């Protein structure tokens, strides 16, 4: 005949299984996404880097927007034009790409 301790132990095991298994399954579903392969700079961080020799800034806006207003020293470059040889070959170079979000 089971004692209250045995019954409590079985009940506790069942409750733990009901709590732990769903949490483990939820954790599998909520795995962290892969980290973004590129870093992000604030406007102030970009401003501090402007003019440094190993920093290249590229403006991905339309030609009209680029002509109206762009970051000093930025090169106009659309994403479709990025091909081998267009960007600096030095792997230690900081590349800054920006464009205006169109709504």
Percent of the chain residues topping a pLDDT of 90 = 30
- Clarify whether residues 53 and 87 are in a common domain: yes
pLDDT at 26: 53
pLDDT at 67: 93
Q: How far, in Å, CA of 90 to CA of 87, rounded?
A: 9
The domain total for the chain is 2
What average pLDDT score do residues 48-55 get? 91
pLDDT at 66: 94
Is 38 a member of any domain?
Answer: no
pLDDT at 61: 93
What DSSP assignment string belongs to 49-89?
HTT-TTEEEEE-S-HHHHHH---TTPEE--GGG--TTTS-S
Is 6 a member of any domain?
Answer: yes
Global confidence as pTM: 0.61
Is 72 a member of any domain?
Answer: yes
Question: Tens of pLDDT along 2-41?
Answer: 444 443 443 444 434 444 444 555 555 567 777 777 888 8
């Amino acid at each position: 005949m089971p004692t209250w301790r045995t019954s409590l132990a079985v009940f506790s095991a069942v409750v733990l299984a009901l709590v732990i298994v769903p949490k483990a399954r939820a954790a599998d579903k909520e795995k962290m996404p892969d980290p973004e392969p590129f870093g992000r700079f604030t406007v102030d961080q970009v401003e501090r880097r402007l003019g440094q020799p190993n920093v290249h800034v590229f403006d991905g806006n339309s030609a009209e927007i680029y002509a109206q207003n762009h970051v000093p020293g930025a090169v106009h470059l659309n994403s479709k034009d990025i091909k081998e040889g267009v960007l600096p070959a030095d792997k230690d170079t900081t590349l800054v790409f920006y464009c205006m979000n169109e709504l």
